Structure 1
């Protein structure tokens, strides 16, 4: 029997507070809620637009699909006393990114999926998109690994509109007028080609691409636009920016070198004629 991870009374209070706030500042439109299984472990894989979308994703899942949202939350967030208490009481999973504890967090997520029958939300991109047009970026392979290890379905979810509520990098939300927030959930991603295969880098990469392709297609449907042929790669973009910065510094460093002030000839005199 699945374990109840959440405190029911905390769940009741938090859900009503969040619902009240979001109904005040957003106009939600939800499609595809029937694609989220009514019970049993399920991975909800969503794109990431804004620091506000954990609230809107949770709203979509809890009210629209009737499933309690479970997130993996950054350890820094979990250090805030009130947030920590609420997060623990609502079954959220802390994670220290870039550390050995990240593996432990994935183990906790696996337990939530397979033993507790939870619906666990992941952002495969790992951070808010930096694509100039806000399309989903390339993703990390943690979601694919977890899906192939546990065998639970991955439901792709795309959303659009939170960037108008609070754009990434901004600290000032635009609360009024109410913002249109659109959601679309698709059927579980077809990962059958990768099941029962060794979890090689190639298998995980291809499975991750399949997950992100479904999310991107759903967002394209919401936006009525054509996504880019290749997703934005944040790692490569940062590498290009670093190389460009080094290239800009190179001429300045060259100008400051002593040899540019004149060189000495064989007779010991300066070649400038001095």
Structure 2
């Protein structure tokens, strides 16, 4: 039997209409853009302990407890189906309760501290993965965080050229996010500017000017990394933390 409407609504509100599975965190309610009077809802109140024999994680409960809010969790339809297959094999009661507890604590913290859940949702998208891939790539290149004295100038140019190509490769995969594309473009252009400003037509490199141009480049890229951290939730805990704001 499904949860009562009041219980289901409370679970949804306590979850901010976000799936409690930490590997999902899908938003489960939204607008139907073709009809202003309609909504889209893909969330469901799911039982932690099955209500009937042969249901997932079933065990005998006192009367009324199976339909209580303590025995419910808010999930997207896909995750609800997943946790209930094969009598809940792979998804024990303690795990599901842990999902619910941590999720509701997180939502409560976001509400009380006036923080946005958008970074949480963004982390589930392919665009976030592309942004984090770029951050990880930049972290692997000393040109973006090491003192120039530690870098061999030819290696600097090789790293900048590799960066330009990698940014282009990743940018082609960005979906429906012009702001993220702009960040990628700014990072690529900042690396390209160093190559343009310190190389002459005959291929000669102005090594004396290279240090100053790298300092400017790092400041510019640092600002873009700040955007990736604040708006996309990227992890900058590695060496790039020295140039990010």
| Category of TM-score, reference length = shorter chain | under 0.3
Greater share of strand:
1
Output the TM-score relative to the length of structure 1.
Answer: 0.22
Kindly indicate whether structure 1 or structure 2 has the higher relative contact order, using CA contacts under 8 Å at least 6 residues apart: 1
Greater share of helix:
2
